[in-house]
Structure 1
């Protein structure tokens, strides 16, 4: 029979799903290490990490994915929010965001020319060849994570993949605006109010 601790671990593993954390922060050195350390301390593997400038000047956006349970992702998000340079952090499930990836596949040109199946697979996944020479061709695929993985697996089975690289997830929420806009507007309003009270 299973012990109570084993039952608990099994239940937690069943509750795990892929969460996306979107973090907005000011662009200061060292913050990335602080954010990833939160995951390391809880022994959570980061599946993908994408950092870029946001739509707001001076604010950067971190998009992080990880497999975990709801209780843990809530705690992780709260810990990240407490970091001094973090403006906001929120977690989302896949049905709350629109997400995308880009991937590049370097494949052998001789195999591409000799095996019609290679071209068929590329067309099947709506990928496109963006560069080709006598030695290799580069295939570009934009889309969902599963499609990118499946295309790689099918090309690999045709023994033509030389290199493969993917961007990691980029995501936007399905709401009409980013929550950080509200946060910054509220912070600006409070700042003006405090200045007015000082006069």
Structure 2
């Protein structure tokens, strides 16, 4: 009787015939949920930081993003209406928690006055200089004009054109100029401002009102 029970208890599919689970195991033998392990969705955003216009600020910002391993797509810096302030524009691609962390860490830097995440409809422009073979200068100029650009240098061997616009427009222009043989390219990265009357940096310097000139009264 006991032999029959034991034989029935052993009945079932062979281990090799059992359906395999899609879950893997970590080194500790715990099953890993593929959905939980999947890479989080990222999005590209523009951060505008108003900073003190002093030596070392850009190096501090670059060092911060390098240590935190934030994915920087582009970084530009330039003057503002206040000679004591500069504007750093960063394009980063991170998951939402990473974006919030980047803003918080950037705001902690002493030279940083304010940090703003620009809306998706912000005005964004890049600039590219594209140097190509100069065998067909007239055709190069015509193509540059199609993209709203112009030739800024022309010689016997090469022609350099300037293109400004969105990142997508410049990418398309570079693809088009490949037919002439691209010698070299340089791009500035993104510069961006909010649209309309909204200030890009809410805590930024206000534009000074023009001083009114007193007109002397007639004697």
TM-score bracket for the superposition, by shorter chain length? 0.7 to 0.9
Following the alignment from structure 2 to structure 1, what is the Cα–Cα distance between the partners of residues 146 and 23?
A: 46
Tell me how far 1:163 sits from its aligned partner: 1.1
TM-score (norm 2): 0.71
Are residues 173 and 9 of structure 1, via their aligned partners in 2, closer, same or farther at CA, if it must alter by over 3 Å? Answer: farther
Residue 182 of structure 2 aligns with which residue?
161
Distance across 1 between alignment mates of 2:200 and 2:147 = 34
Secondary structure of the residue aligned to 1:110 is coil
- Offset at 1:60? 0.6
Q: 1:80 aligns with which of 89, 97, 106?
A: 106
Alpha-carbon spacing, 1:121–1:80, altered in 2? closer, same or farther (3 Å) = same
Aligned to 1:191: none
Stretch moving more, 165-174 or 41-50: 41-50
C-alpha deviations, 1:129-178, integer Å up to 9, x for none? 2221211111111111111111112222x142111111110010125143
**Count of matched residue pairs:** 178
Q: Which residue of 1 aligns with 2:94?
A: 68
Q: Does 1:127 align with 2:149?
A: yes
Q: TM-score, normalised by structure 1?
A: 0.78
Deviation at 1:184, TM superposition (A): 5.8
| Partner of residue 170, structure 2 | 148
- Tell me which protein shows more helix as a share of its residues: 1
Unaligned stretches of 5+ in structure 1? 186-199
Determine the structure 1 residue equivalent to 2:216. none
- Structure 2, unaligned stretches of length 5 or more? 1-21, 25-31, 207-219
**Corresponding residue of 1:27:** 53
Give CA deviations for 1:58-87 in whole Å, capped at 9, x if unaligned. 001000111112221111101111111110
Show the 5 A alignment for 1:1-199. 1=22, 6-8=34-36, 10-12=38-40, 15-95=41-121, 97-112=122-137, 116=139, 118=140, 121-156=143-178, 158-178=179-199, 180=201, 182=203
The alignment's C-alpha RMSD in Å is 2.4
Q: Mean Cα displacement is larger for which, 128-137 or 36-45?
A: 36-45
Instruction: State the secondary structure of the residue aligned to 2:98.
Output: helix
